[in-house]
Amino acid sequence: MKTDVEELSPTRVRLTIEVPFDELKPNLDRAYREVSRQVRVPGFRPGHIPPRVIDQRFGRGAIIEQAVSDAVPALYGKALEEHDVFALGQPAVEITKLDDGKELAFTAEVDIRPKFDLPDINGMPVTVDDADVTPDQVEEYIGTLRERFASLKGADRPAAEGDFVSIDLSAEVNGEPVEDAQASGVSYEVGSGQMLEGLDAALTGLVAGETKTFTTELAGGKLAGTPAEMTVTVGSVKVKELPELDDDFAQSASEFDTLGELRAGTRAQLENMRRLGQAGQARERALDALLARIDIPLPEDLIDRDIVSRRQSLADRLARSGNAIEEYLEATGQSVEQLDEQLAQDARRTVKAGFVLDKLAAQEELGVDQEELAAYVTDQAYRMGVQPDRLAKELADRGQLASVAADVLRGKALTLIAERAAITDESGRVVDVQAAARAAEAAELGAAEAGDAEADAAEAGDAEADAAEAGDAEADAAEAGDAEAEASDAEADAAQASDAGPVDAGPVEAGPVDARTSAAGPGAAEAGEAEAGAAGPADAGASDAGAHGTAEADAPGSAAEVRAAGSATEGADQATASDAGAGAGEYTEPAP
pLDDT band at 68 (very low <50, low <70, confident <90, very high): very high
Q: Is the pLDDT of residue 544 over 70?
A: no
- So what's the pLDDT on residue 432? 87
Asked which of 195, 218, 241 is the last residue of a domain, the reply is 241
Q: Give 107 or 562, the one with higher predicted confidence.
A: 107
What does DSSP assign to residue 179? G
Query: In this model, does residue 404 exceed pLDDT 50?
Result: yes
For residues 144-161, give the mean pLDDT: 92
Co-location of 296 and 418 in the same domain: yes
Question: Torsions phi, psi of 96, nearest 5?
Answer: -100, -20
Domain for residue 168, yes or no? yes
For residues 261-282, give the mean pLDDT. Answer: 90
- Confirm whether 521 is domain-assigned: no
Residue type, 28: L
**Which residues have CB under 8 Å from 248's CB, separation 6+?**
none
Residue 106 sits in the same domain as residue 211: no
Higher per-residue pLDDT: 186 or 466: 186
Task: Indicate whether 258 belongs to any domain.
Answer: yes
Summarize the confidence of residues 148-160 as an average pLDDT.
92
The residue that leads in pLDDT, 488 or 32, is 32
The pLDDT assigned to 502 comes to 29
pLDDT in tens, 427-436: 999 988 887 6
Number of C-alpha atoms within 13 angstroms, CB side, residue 394? 18
Residues 93 and 170 in one domain: no
Question: Does a structural domain hold residue 559?
Answer: yes
17 and 62 housed in the same domain:
yes
The CATH number assigned to the domain holding 72 equals 3.30.70.1050
The whole-number average pLDDT for the span 208-227 is 88
Note whether 219 and 319 are same-domain residues: no
- Condensed to tens digits (0 to 9), the pLDDT of residues 550-581 reads 223 332 333 333 333 333 333 333 333 333 33
CA gap 561, 52 in Å, rounded: 68
- Angle at Cα 344 formed by Cα 343 and Cα 348, nearest 5°? 115
The answer on pLDDT for 194 being more than 60 is: yes
Q: Is the predicted pLDDT of residue 345 greater than 50, yes or no?
A: yes
Are both 256 and 225 inside the same structural domain? no
**What is the structure's pLDDT at 13?**
94
Q: Are 353 and 480 in a shared domain?
A: yes
**Is a pLDDT exceeding 90 seen at residue 297?**
yes
Would the pLDDT of 290 be above 90? yes
Q: Does residue 453 contact residue 257 with C-beta atoms inside 8 Å?
A: no
How does the average pLDDT of the chain come out, rounded? 77
Q: Which domain, by its residues, includes 223?
A: 152-241
Contact between 289 and 125 under an 8 Å Cβ cutoff? The reply is: yes
Looking at the domain assignment, is residue 589 inside a domain?
A: no
Kindly state whether residues 237 and 264 are assigned to the same domain: no
Largest CA distance in the chain: 103
- What is the CB neighbour count within 10 angstroms for residue 181? 27
348 within domain boundaries: yes
Q: At what angle are helices 336-363 and 401-420 packed, to 10 degrees?
A: 80
The better pLDDT of the pair 486, 3 is held by 3
- The whole-number average pLDDT for the span 189-205 is 92
> Over 80: is that where the pLDDT of 176 sits?
yes
Q: Are residues 288 and 346 in the same domain?
A: yes
Total structural domains within the chain = 3
pLDDT at 285: 95
Query: What average pLDDT does range 392-406 have in this prediction?
Result: 90
Out of 188, 214, 241, a domain closes at 241
**Same structural domain for residues 319 and 385?**
yes
Residue 364 reports pLDDT greater than 90: yes
pLDDT of residue 520: 30
Q: Give yes or no: residues 102 and 177 share one domain.
A: no
